[in-house]
Structure 1
């Protein structure tokens, strides 16, 4: 009999969940409650005006495909996978991740988190947009799929869903729908919600350790995404640290925007890889 995960280490899940909420809180404090944070992120939004029209159109198209109907279809799809596997617990956990993720971010964005007027802005720049609902949808759909899809098909699912989820976070900046902090906070909250759902499954004894041979193609993909995440992080930091250290808050807005896009991709990849690490050789 394979060892039950809860008998091995189920404490990883609450630790990951707590860490995600802490990261989201830190992002909010640094980016929203400081003058420097608001100035830099608003500069990135203005820098997006210089992006190629084709990139902006692609971003609007991708984000526009996320509607109430497509979200409902995603919920039905992950639930159906669980039902077909005769695993109602997985179906409940996967659907719960998507629904709870939206509930948390919408309540935080609309009713809880204020955006103080620390810099002079008008229009859409003045209202609070943290966390990003679109990024949360993309990441929770990814995490729900990891939970519900059979282990042998997880690599195939990741091949298609992970790049889409990461791209949505970056597209929110390109389309000027969200700031970098909105995306990073959404990544962290989605990870926390998914970790809590996984913890529930582990405590029920619903997860087992996979004892079969390792799947090389999946390992190659994960290594590739990890490398891509490190490159995106390094590039984003370089594009922010160098100009900001030289020119201060008046740094070139186009460069700040490019750095923000790289950091958004790095944040989404980091959240995805942390969740995958927790589910490594677990089904």
Structure 2
């Protein structure tokens, strides 16, 4: 069900943002609004995104494999690595060969080509999901503490650096979640997952509650920044405000996808 919902969500995002004139206009306005961001924020975004390379991705895969080997769990290792690899195969295939971006509004240069889904956001989210799959139950809180903030920031940074549109990050969130859910479903059908009956980790509960509140706040902030300006000024709303709203929605999308997957693994070892 989660996998199906992730794929459907990505498809709906594509239809609304790419195949409609209003969607393209709003997202292009958000990209232009990013030009007004502080230079230090832009530099930080470029630096963070620049650290995601073939070599850093390979290092992440090696780390995942190492954890799986140390646990002597090849099934978890295959599932976790499969999520990362499948994520790039799917999004790059969709972006380069499958999904068109019709010219519904007059644009030039980088705004004209299709950039959905975001490869960087997919990398960040699939690495997070792979870590959740492969680490022992007691270490999932550590993953949430260190990896979740990074994965969430990457989605927002793609907008700040103008590498991607909001729809690119949201579609990547949906696809990454769907692939990770399929991996968990495969593990469950193999009998590789068991209920956890041990004590509750209070620190992890606090982290989940905290990030859930952040997700609600960022989602509400994005809605406020978009609904009122667009209702009053239509598609001519202030580009800076539209950009801020897009950034809030990007953060909310990554958080909701991550927390949904964590919920699927609740008390499962």
TM-score (ref. length: structure 2): 1.00
Q: Does 1:221 align with 2:207?
A: yes
Q: Distance in 2 between matches of 1:101 and 1:116?
A: 25
Deviations 1:74-115 (A, max 9, x none): 111101100110000000000000000010000000000000
| Aligned match for 1:270, one of 247, 256, 265 | 256
The SS at the match of 1:21 is: helix
Deviations 1:100-145 (A, max 9, x none): 0010000000000000000000000000000000000000000000
Deviation (angstroms), 1:168: 0.2
**Residue 182 (structure 2) aligns with:** 196
Deviation (angstroms), 1:156: 1.1
Matches within 5 A, 1:1-283: 15-283=1-269
Q: Distance in 1 between matches of 2:195 and 2:228?
A: 45
Q: Distance in 1 between matches of 2:88 and 2:4?
A: 18
Deviations 1:184-205 (A, max 9, x none): 0000000000000001100000
The SS at the match of 1:224 is: helix
Unaligned runs of 5+ in 1: 1-14
The SS at the match of 2:261 is: helix
The SS at the match of 2:259 is: helix
Deviation (angstroms), 1:158: 1.2
* Coordinate RMSD, CA, aligned: 0.4
Q: Distance in 2 between matches of 1:50 and 1:93?
A: 42
Deviations 1:10-29 (A, max 9, x none): xxxxx100010000000000
Unaligned runs of 5+ in 2: none
The SS at the match of 2:120 is: helix
Deviation (angstroms), 1:157: 1.6
**Residue 4 (structure 1) aligns with:** none
TM-score (ref. length: structure 1): 0.95
Runs of 4+ in 1 over 4 A off after TM superposition: none
